[in-house]
A and B are shown apart, each in its own frame.
Chain A
Amino acid sequence: MSVDEKTVRRIAHLARIAVTDEEVPHLQGELNAILSFVEQLNEVNVDGVEPMTSVTPMTMKKRQDGVTDGGYPDKIIRNAPATEDNFFLVPKVVE
Chain B
Amino acid sequence: MTELTHLTISEARDGLKAKTFSAAELAQAHIAAVEKARALNAYVLETPEKALAQAKASDEKIAKGEARPLEGIPLGIKDLFCTEGVVSTAGSRILGNFTPPYESTVTQNLWNDGAVMLGKLNMDEFAMGSSNETSAFGPVVSPWRREGSNVSAGASGQIEGTHLVPGGSSGGSAAAVAAHLCLGATATDTGGSIRQPAAFTGTVGIKPTYGRVSRWGTVAFASSLDQAGPITRTVRDAAIMLRSMAGPDAKDTTCVDLPVPDFEAAVTRGVKGLKIGIPKEYRVDGMSPEIEALWRQGTEWLRAAGAEIVEVSLPHTKYALPAYYIVAPAEASSNLARYDGVRYGLRENGRDIVDLYEKTRAAGFGREVKRRIMIGTYVLSAGYYDAYYVRAQKIRTLIKRDFEEVYAQGVHAILTPATPSAAFGIGEKGSGDPVEMYLNDIFTVTVNMAGLPGIAVPAGLDSQGLPLGLQLIGRAFDEETLFAAGQVIEDAAGRIALPQPWWA
Interface residues of A (CB under 8 A from B): 1, 3, 7-8, 11-19, 27, 30-31, 33-35, 37-42, 44, 46, 49-56, 58, 60-61, 63, 72, 75, 77-82, 88, 90-93
Contact = CB atoms under 8 A, between A and B. Distances in A.
B375 A31 contact: yes
A46 B325 contact: no
Determine the main DSSP class of A at the interface with B.
loop
B98 A79 contact: yes
A34 B359 contact: no
Given A52-B396, A75-B101, A15 B374 contact: yes
B7 interface: no
Contact of B350 (A19, A91, A93): A91
Given A31-B375, A38-B388, A82-B347, A56 B256 contact: yes
B451 A14 contact: no
B318 to A, nearest CB: 8
Interface of B: 96-99, 101, 209-211, 224-225, 250, 253-254, 256-257, 316, 318-319, 322-323, 325-326, 333, 337, 340-347, 349-359, 361-362, 365, 370-371, 373-375, 377-378, 381, 384, 387-388, 390-398, 400, 433-435, 438, 449-451, 476
B353 A11 contact: no
Given A16-B358, A34-B375, A51 B397 contact: yes
A41 B319 contact: yes
A16 B354 contact: yes
Nearest to A20: B362
A34 B434 contact: yes
B476 A56 contact: yes
Nearest to A62: B253
Given A56-B211, A78-B101, A79-B344, A40 B397 contact: no
Given A11-B374, A11-B381, A31-B371, A55 B101 contact: no
B347 A51 contact: no
Nearest to B433: A33
A14 to B, nearest CB: 5
A38 B326 contact: yes
B393 A17 contact: no
Given A40-B322, A50-B397, A80-B344, A15 B391 contact: no
Nearest to A93: B353
A88 B343 contact: yes
A80 to B, nearest CB: 5
A11 B210 CA distance: 31
6 contacts: A34-B371, A38-B325, A41-B392, A51-B390, A81-B342, A91-B350
Given A33-B434, A46-B395, A55 B400 contact: yes
A13 B449 CA distance: 30
Nearest to B380: A14
B252 to A, nearest CB: 9
Contacts of A12: 374
A68 to B, nearest CB: 9
Contacts of B384: 1
Contact of B256 (A52, A58, A79): A58
A7 B384 CA distance: 13
A17 B365 contact: yes
A58 B434 contact: no
A81 B347 contact: yes
The 9 closest A-B pairs by CB, nearest first: A55-B451, A51-B393, A79-B344, A81-B347, A18-B362, A18-B358, A46-B394, A75-B101, A16-B357
